[in-house]
């Protein structure tokens, strides 16, 4: 289909029904890199930014491009309660103070400390399917890992992690694809759960992230229940379906590129790190993040007014031929690969990036060695979301193998 101004609809889940709309992205990058996109229901509209250099520059300039009141396109998604703000939706210096509380738990060293535990979770997850010879890769494998990892980090039971993960899926779904009020209901359920966790960690402190947040102080003041709830929601939310979709979307990419898959499986020992980065570039599980212009600026000759919404399309930036050689080709050995799947390197750069990489490496290694002939067993169904991209269901089959324990 020829792309024209009339065919572009980045707010419709239908545009993402077969993965990200790469033809539309290419048209936008070439013809309207700062594109005025309408918003339904009387919203003011937004500027869609699709070139790599622009996405990077905007993400790194919080003074001009603010994350407040929200990083979602619709204004009613702002998560501000009184003068409390969620870290993801706050600007420096408030943001810096919040990030400092948990920064330490997310360094490469902290992530490396989790790796043995994450590897054993991966092998337990694959144990559950390996004898069956078939499964839904998304629900049975890819979705299990991040929910367990976040439960482990927060110090809550693994099964609760799974339940909370189900809530994040509802929160990220396009509103028209779930029952009316379901999104808000899921947030409330998450807050109620977080409230109980905070009470428990105050009573019985443990060596986990939840205990750390509950006892943290900002400017000499202890964080209160609302701050805790906002942290809890962000952490459960941010690390869940992003990692899951990377794993599922990455596997689909390997199915669609058999030569690259064979190359990776033959050289897993050396190619795993570059292959994981290439999957991040290719899949870009976070489709976009929004900012608000704090002053009038000009971008590619377009006048952006103070208060305008400016939306960075990471998936489009990651296929920009101005930044990547052979951008439309999957190359599991690509190097360098300065993708923006975790953000463009500004103050909100994905805090969980190191942990996500440990998860991705461990699960890819497990799947590509123990389910080595894994192949599609039916059509992929993609998530009905304009914010998070990845398969919802991915039926697969493989030669049954043996459990490790
Ligand atoms: C493949 C997996 C993941 C992807 C693609 C991803 C992507 C992103 C992106 C695009 C941002 C916003 C960056 C920006 O605005 O500059 C972000 C922020 C964030 N991510 Fe991730 N993420 C992933 C996994 C995780 C995991 C596993 C965790 C936690 C365990 C996590 C925690 C966070 C947090 C807390 C933020 C907010 C940081 C801030 O506001 O300062 N993410 N992530």
CA 353 to ligand 1 centroid distance, Å: 7
Q: What pLDDT, on the 0 to 100 scale, is given for residue 41?
A: 78
Residues whose CB falls within 8 Å of the CB of residue 353, separated by 6 or more in sequence, listed in order: 342
pLDDT values of the chain reduced to their tens digit, one per residue, 405 residues:
688 877 899 999 999 999 999 999 999 999 999 999 999 878 899 999 999 999 999 999 999 999 999 999 988 777 667 788 999 999 999 999 999 999 999 999 999 999 999 999 999 999 999 999 999 999 999 999 998 999 999 999 999 998 998 898 888 777 777 888 888 899 899 999 999 999 999 999 999 999 999 998 877 888 889 999 999 999 998 988 899 999 999 999 999 999 999 999 999 999 999 999 999 999 999 999 999 999 999 999 999 999 999 999 999 999 999 999 999 999 999 999 999 999 999 999 999 999 999 999 999 999 999 999 999 999 999 988 899 999 999 999 999 999 987
> Given ligand 1 and candidates 165, 275, 349, 350, which is best to mutate, with the most ligand atoms within 8 Å of its CB?
350
All residues at 6 or more sequence positions from 173 whose CB lies less than 8 Å from its CB, including other chains: 182, 183, 383, 384, 385
For ligand 1, atom 15, name the residue with the nearest CA: 348
Task: Point out the ligand 1 atom lying closest to the alpha carbon of residue 150.
Answer: 30
User: Ligand 1 atom closest to Cα of 234?
Assistant: 35
What Cα–Cα distance (Å) separates residue 329 from each residue in 259, 321, 325, 341?
12, 11, 9, 17
Nearest to 5 by CA among 30, 27, 33: 27
Q: What is the CA(343)–ligand 1 centre distance, in A?
A: 8
Distance 65 CA to ligand 1 centre (A): 18
CA 149 to centroid of chain Cα atoms: 15
In this prediction, residue 80 carries a pLDDT of 67
Atom of ligand 1 nearest to the CA of 344: 16
Atom of ligand 1 nearest to the CA of 99: 41
Give start and end residues of each alpha helix (H) in 204-308.
Answer: 209-214, 225-238, 241-256, 258-266, 268-283
Q: Is the pTM of this model over 0.85?
A: yes
Q: Which two tokens stand for residue 27?
A: 């048209």
Please tell me the distance between residue 335's alpha carbon and the centre of ligand 1 in angstroms: 22
């Amino acid at each position: 289909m020829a792309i024209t101004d009339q065919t572009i609809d980045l707010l419709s889940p239908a545009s993402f029904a077969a993965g990200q709309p790469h033809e539309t992205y290419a048209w936008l990058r070439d013809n309207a890199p700062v594109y005025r996109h309408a918003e339904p229901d009387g919203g003011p509209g937004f500027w869609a930014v699709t070139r790599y250099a622009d996405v990077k520059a905007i993400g790194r300039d919080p003074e001009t491009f603010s994350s407040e009141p929200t990083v979602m396109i619709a204004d009613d998604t702002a998560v501000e309660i009184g003068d409390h703000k969620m870290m993801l939706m706050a600007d420096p210096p408030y943001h810096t103070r919040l990030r400092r509380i948990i920064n330490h738990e997310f360094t490469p060293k902290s992530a490396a400390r989790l790796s043995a535990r994450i590897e054993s979770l991966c092998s337990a997850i694959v144990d559950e399917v390996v004898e069956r010879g078939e499964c839904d890769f998304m629900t049975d494998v890819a979705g299990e890992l991040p929910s367990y990892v976040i439960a482990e980090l927060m110090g809550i039971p693994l099964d609760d992690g799974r339940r909370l993960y189900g809530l994040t899926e509802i929160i990220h779904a396009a509103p028209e694809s779930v029952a009316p009020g379901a999104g808000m209901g899921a947030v409330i359920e998450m807050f109620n759960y977080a409230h109980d966790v905070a009470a428990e960690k105050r009573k019985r402190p443990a060596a986990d992230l939840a205990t750390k947040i509950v006892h943290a102080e900002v400017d000499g003041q202890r964080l209160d229940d609302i701050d805790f709830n906002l942290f809890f929601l962000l952490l459960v939310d941010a690390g869940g379906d992003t990692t899951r979709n990377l794993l599922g979307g990455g596997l689909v990419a390997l199915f669609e590129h058999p030569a690259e898959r064979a190359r990776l499986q033959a050289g897993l020992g050396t190619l795993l790190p570059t292959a994981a980065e290439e999957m991040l570039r290719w899949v870009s599980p976070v489709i976009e993040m929004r900012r608000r212009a704090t002053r009038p600026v000009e971008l590619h000759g377009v006048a952006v007014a103070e208060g305008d919404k400016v939306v960075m399309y990471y998936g489009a930036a990651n296929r920009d031929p101005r930044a990547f050689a052979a951008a439309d080709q999957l190359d599991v050995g690509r190097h360098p690969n300065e993708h923006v799947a975790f953000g463009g390197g500004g103050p909100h750069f994905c805090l969980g990036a190191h942990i996500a990489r440990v998860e991705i490496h461990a699960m890819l290694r497990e799947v590509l060695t123990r389910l080595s002939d894994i192949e599609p067993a039916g059509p992929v169904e993609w998530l009905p979301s304009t914010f998070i991209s990845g398969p919802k269901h991915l039926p697969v089959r493989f030669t049954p193998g043996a459990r490790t324990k």
